[in-house]
Chains A and B, each alone.
Chain A
Amino acid sequence: MDKILNVTLVGVGGQGTLLASEVLCQVALASGRDVKKSEVHGMAQRGGSVVSQVRIGDKVHSPLIALGETDVLIAFEKLEALRHAHFLAPDGVAMVNDQEIRPVTVSSGQAEWPNDLDGMLRSAFPKLELIPALAVARELGNVRAVNLVMIGALSTHLGIDDSIWRESIAALVKPQFVELNLKAFEAGKSAVTACG
């Protein structure tokens, strides 16, 4: 039995983390692997933190990943990356979208935004890849494509055939957005190379 790959996706409600985890599941299915995904709907969607976990392997039992056993942490927002740092394995990789979204506790003055977030990220994550996904998506003309840029970046770590990624994306997004999302996926792959 090979080792299970554990991926945790975190972000803020509305950023498209759920679609990203769906793509990952579809890719696992299409490449003949077992997969489980866990996420919680409901109250968390009202602008709160969102966590989604995907496990891929020959046989997966638990849909949840134990703390400290995530191999790849995909963070759509920097504060959320830090909040879930203890999810990551000691040799795990953190891929963090270079975007800050201030929670209402900060915008209303009840809490302070950390003044050295980048420094905190660097010390929390020995293997940190900061991905300019928002800038890349903006360049493509749609900020909502951030999630596919991050998926493109993730794909460089998994060694799964490119065509499977592309087919899975095409199967999951609305026909009119396939082209944009595939472009975002490609741009995400290059973004890693650029910052790597």
Chain B
Amino acid sequence: MQAVSANRRVLSGNEAIAHAAWAAGVELASAYPGTPSTEILENIARHHPDVYAEWAVNEKVAMEVAIGASFAGARALTTMKHVGLNVALDPLMTFTYIGANGGLVIVCADDPGMHSSQNEQDNRTLAKFARVPMLEPSDSQECYDMTLEAYEISERFGTPVILRTTTRINHSSGIVDLGDFTRKPRGDRAYEKDMTRTVMVPMFARRQRVALEEKLARLSDYSEKSPLQRIERGGKTGIITSGISYQYAREAFPEASILRLGMTFPLPKTLIREFAASVDKVYVIEEGDPYLEEQVLAMGVDVRQPEISLRIGELSPDRIERLAAEVHGEAPLKPKEAVGNLPARPPVLCPGCSHRGVFYALNRLKATVLGDIGCYSLGAFPPLSAMDSIVCMGASIGNAHGMQKSGSRDAGARVAAILGDSTFFHSGITGLLNIVYNRGMSTVIVLDNRTTAMTGHQQHPGTGRTLMGQESVEASVEEVARGVGVKRVRVVDPYNLEETFDVLKEELDSSEPSVIVSKRACVLSLKAREIHQFSVDLDACKACGACLKLGCPAIEITDQPSPNGKGRKVRINPVLCVGCGMCAQVCKFDAVKEAVSP
């Protein structure tokens, strides 16, 4: 039994990192929201207003802001999901040559299994590629402890440090002992002008390139002796592991000896060799790429490679138990089977979602739609079926331009790009300028719902409010579009289906570039919902199915057959309906009526 104290709390990995950033004396935190990293900055803003925290327009800018603070001698934090580091890699690759003045920690949250992502890239490779020391916590307590340690490493060695997490670390909770939980006072690091260290022209960069390798050698020594590396002595089977994989391995192999690596770049090669020599056989248990395995193999250590592959998708206790059965020469465990043939419950566009009207029109126009990252990816699915591609943040605009310029006739005459307001500000503006400059003619539709909906309603430049709650300039998509030279800028209300259809048709058929801003607030962010609702007059309903093409979860098929017996009539679930009125507009029989308020 543990003593109960106020500083022992159940915290998610993200909450623990936020508290640790405060305790480490972080002065500035800058990030763009991205699952599973988003709650780190939200928790800093909520609990620690003495830390300056901001939503940057994208991860590259966030990284550059954090680097600026480090230049100035302040401790800085930037957080991002794994694909965010692709965007921010450019400044990072050169900042490693310069090195940190004030401590700089980059939280990189990978998403094995793609719970909420478009790929499952394993960013441990990027830490090695960029030559950034990397720590991998295995639970919330370590998220707290390792964030503190990361700042010490950063300032001691003059390097940014990556704290690499995964969804199961960020979003799982455990008990965290926050210790005395006080904030470290600001250090005495000053900004000192030194062009040989910070101006990366070739003559200085070549010198810093050599210095970086020397720094890595010192970091390797630290990695060998660091308490972040831990050996748990057991039997003659040895396991090398890190991060969440350690937890599954510890439970599935209670008798094994385990080398748990808390710092996975640079690797402690002597420690690994000594550990391997102390056991009969060595297994590497890791989620994702063979990052550890390949390096350990390259050291000449005889790593056993089991039949069961751990490479694709998220690891789980089940997968590691099956591995344990193989290692112990036991019969393969039979996978537990789910009850078959149950109706699926997929995520759907919410009732009253402002994106629905645009997708409904695009479907009718049979347009080829290059899509983007956000809730609106759900517009790809039936019955709306109005999105053809998703690549990365902002890709829709370049994709549409390339398709239009390629001269291909297969895509049809109507090609559009579609993306949200936050995504447009993140990385859509440059693509739009490219269309105008290169005499393109694509139509770009910005679904402007005045929030970053998918990650849980964060502020962005278009909302007129900052992360810390201050009022700010409300950036206008229309003005930005006009500013980069778009002549045809239209604004539509997506709740008005006829207007939306007409404007979309006109712009898709125009031979000039155009921007259509579909403007309606996200229904989930409305504080007081309008009380009016709609209902179906079952006598008037002909069961034609027109309203079902909207894909609204509030519209439900009843047991009542139509007069000709071919279809079934519908009703509107009053618990779900928010009164957008789109179904009333598509009903040809006037069967959908505004319900009388109770």
Which of A's residues lie within 8 Å of B, judged by CB?
Answer: 12-13, 22, 25-26, 28-30, 32-49, 60-69, 79-80, 82-87, 102-114, 120, 124
The chain A residue sitting closest to B116, CB to CB, is A42
B 575-596 to A, binary, CB cutoff 8 A, 1 in contact else 0: 0000000000000000000000
Contact A124 B250 (CB under 8 A): no
Nearest first, the 6 closest Cβ-Cβ pairs linking A and B are A42-B116, A46-B347, A111-B343, A63-B172, A107-B556, A66-B317
- The answer to whether B345 and A86 have CB atoms under 8 Å apart is no
Contacts of B167 in A (CB 8 A): 40
- Is there contact, CB below 8 Å, between B556 and A102? yes
Min CB distance A163 to B, Å, is 13
Q: Does B280 have its Cβ within 8 Å of any Cβ on chain A?
A: no
B positions within 8 Å CB-CB of A? 1-4, 8-10, 35-36, 115-116, 139, 167-168, 171-175, 244, 246-248, 250-251, 316-318, 321, 335-339, 342-350, 375, 378, 382-383, 454-456, 548, 551, 553, 555-557, 568, 573
Interchain Cβ contacts under 8 Å between A and B, 30 examples: A25-B10, A26-B10, A29-B4, A32-B2, A35-B173, A37-B174, A41-B36, A42-B116, A44-B116, A45-B347, A48-B348, A61-B247, A61-B248, A62-B247, A62-B248, A63-B172, A63-B173, A63-B244, A64-B168, A66-B316, A67-B336, A79-B343, A83-B339, A86-B336, A86-B337, A103-B344, A105-B346, A107-B573, A111-B343, A124-B339
Given A104-B551, A105-B344, are A43 and B174 also a contact pair (CB < 8 Å)?
A: no
Complex CA gap A35/B174 in Å reads 6
Which of A30, A44, A64, A84 gathers the greatest number of chain B CB atoms within 10 Å? Answer: A64
Bound CA span A74–B367, Å = 45
Q: Is the CB of A113 within 8 A of B343?
A: yes
B454 to A106, Cβ gap below 8 A?
no
In Å, the complex CA distance between A18 and B544 comes to 40
Q: List, in ascending order, chain A residues with CB within 8 A of B375's CB.
A: 46
**Smallest distance from the beta carbon of B233 to chain A beta carbons, Å?**
17
Asked if A29 and B175 sit within 8 Å, CB to CB, the answer is yes
Point out the residue from A25, A26, A108 that lies within 8 Å of B383, measured CB to CB: A108
CA distance A29 to B9 in the complex (A): 7
Q: CB-nearest residue of chain B relative to A50?
A: B345
B35 touching A49, Cβ below 8 Å: no
Contact of B115 with A40 in the complex, beta carbons under 8 Å: yes
Decide if B454 touches A42 in the complex (CB within 8 Å). Answer: yes
By a CB distance below 8 angstroms, the chain B residues around A39 are 171-172
CA distance A128 to B9 in the complex (A): 33
Within the complex, the shortest CB–CB distance from A136 to chain B, in Å, comes to 18
Q: Which B residues touch A69, using CB under 8 A?
A: 317
Q: In the bound complex, how far is the Cα of B174 from the Cα of A15, in angstroms?
A: 23
Q: Which residues of B contact A40 (CB under 8 A)?
A: 36, 115-116, 167, 171
Tell me which residues across on chain B come within 8 A of A43, comparing CB atoms. 35, 115-116, 347, 454
Q: Which residues of A contact B35 (CB under 8 A)?
A: 41-43
Residue in B251, B337, B557 whose CB lies within 8 Å of A107: B557
Taking CB atoms, residues of chain B closer than 8 Å to A106 are 343
Beyond A29-B4, A108-B548, whether A83 also contacts B350 by CB under 8 A is no
